[in-house]
Structure 1
Amino acid sequence: MTEINLEVQETNTRIDRYLSQELSDLSRSRIQKLIEEGNVQINDTVCTSKKAAVQAGDRISLAIPEAIPLDLEAEAIPLDILYEDDSLIIINKPAGLVVHPSAGHEAGTLVNALLSHCPLAEIGGVQRPGIVHRLDKDTTGAMVVAKTDQAHQHLQAQLKAKTARREYLGVVYGSPRTESGTIDQPIGRHPVDRKKMAVVPEEKGGRPSVTHWRVQERLGNYTLMLFQLETGRTHQIRVHSAYIGHPIVGDRVYSSGHSVGVNLPGQALHAWRLRLEHPLSGNLVEVTAPLPGSFTTLLEVLRRRIASF
């Protein structure tokens, strides 16, 4: 148990707002939870209302319970780190690496690797890696993880407000008629195959989903596309690409396309560039994740085929 004592310098301000200003390592939602659980006192009296007003000269005592440890084993799995500081880490995720432990993937995940690499964030009172967004098992590229509760809240808010920018490169079957476009179709659980996602009307449980795309290079019967996510639904780019008749090459779930003659470990989809505002400094953080070897090989093979005609 950690105890923090403060003397209020301001007049007539909400206690949750005051504490979030004074304690930058704790998110406002975490502070509100501590208040609701009776861990905050004003002038030796327990306060359970986040809206309670404090005055200059008031004495605040805040008790922070020890974080609950995550019951997972740390594993020394190598990480390709694109950026790291005390607030966040951005990795270049390889194909085949699952983000979270789950049935069938209890070990060998990104979370297990992070447990070994760096101190855990205390998010909602639990020690765990602050996963801000996920990449599918066989999707490669840039992925950000928060190291503190405050950074986790800030980064998630950026994704929700669409101020963080995520760009993907993907190779699709076919050649779109136009150079760019937007796919605005709701995505939900597939009505028959519950392991898949699909375009589903909102009245049947679909959630608004928007993907912007632009042709980067036409490669005969294939196309290198740049995708920009406005929302972040499960399998969004893969589902939307299949919906417009141009599924991702190598996608074993949403594509029935023929083999391209390249041994791909998964779908040819790569989280290429990530731009976000640093949760503490406010500076722009931009990283570009190098393409994996299999993706580069695929492009080289397709280019050679075009040149040979």
Structure 2
Amino acid sequence: MFAWFRRSALLIGGVALLAGIAACGSDDTPDPAAARRAQAALDTGAELKRQVLAVENTLVDRCLTAQGLPLYDLDGAAVPSSRQNFESPPVETARLLGYGLDPRRRPPESEKPPRSAWERLPDAERLRYTRARFGDMDSDVVSYDFGHGQISSPLGGCVGRTRLAIYGDLHEFLRLDWLVTNQLKEARAQAVRDDEGLSQALSSWSACMRDKGRPGLADPAAARRNAEEIYADVDPADRAGLDRALAREIEAALADATCADTTRLREVSQQVRAQAMAEQLAAHEADIVAWREFMSKALGRAQQLLALG
């Protein structure tokens, strides 16, 4: 179902985040106990949120059905992830598959699906349904300003009324939810970009690639993008041409993987990312715990509403 106006999946999961912190040897090592507590709260909060959203969807559907409205899937087709692979492949993978770019490895594209019932609705009916579901989204909303934009939620319609009943303080929920789903990741990414050790490792990797006849590549993501161009002018029906392109791709990926090993880029990158995330977890422990408690109370209210029928 349509969630928040700026939707995002939970970006931080229960990974073995703290394992590499001590190995970093940094003077700025965060409090491991605080980071562990925050990670536990984050994982628990994520599961609570999943359960809350499931109940929220059911309650919104009930609200719409009570008005005699049918239910439509407004999300549409899934959008492929634009996330790039910034890691060098392992040597064995590179030797066998390169980066996995060979178009023959992709599943066949299915035909365009037929228009959904929502897409077939007249504009006036779409507007009536949208207002019943979300209210007036131009004015009747609550927003949280996170510094370089806003995230908003409706206050009216079935969605708005349901969320007010479940969450209560929507502004506080938006603030806490933005922190755990976006702010932590953004801060980690900035810390990684600013890390001198990783910059040095990338410089060494780039020099290694230059020595292998592949100059001008700043990082493994650039190497992968460069490899994608190998297939740009190859006819998908030209089997021999694809074989030659694959051989070039494997050669490029193997150079990338070998340089990542010799420069310890993979190890340094993993340690820096773990260190940066642990720092954010420790720094925001209080808010992360508050988010978990917020979601726990929201689940209790949501279950009570669900029981009312």
If the length of structure 1 is used for normalisation, what is the TM-score? 0.20
If the length of structure 2 is used for normalisation, what is the TM-score? 0.20
Q: Which has the higher contact order (CA 8 A, sep 6+)?
A: 2
Largest Rg, 1 or 2:
2
User: Which has more helix, going by share of residues?
Assistant: 2
User: Which has more strand, going by share of residues?
Assistant: 1
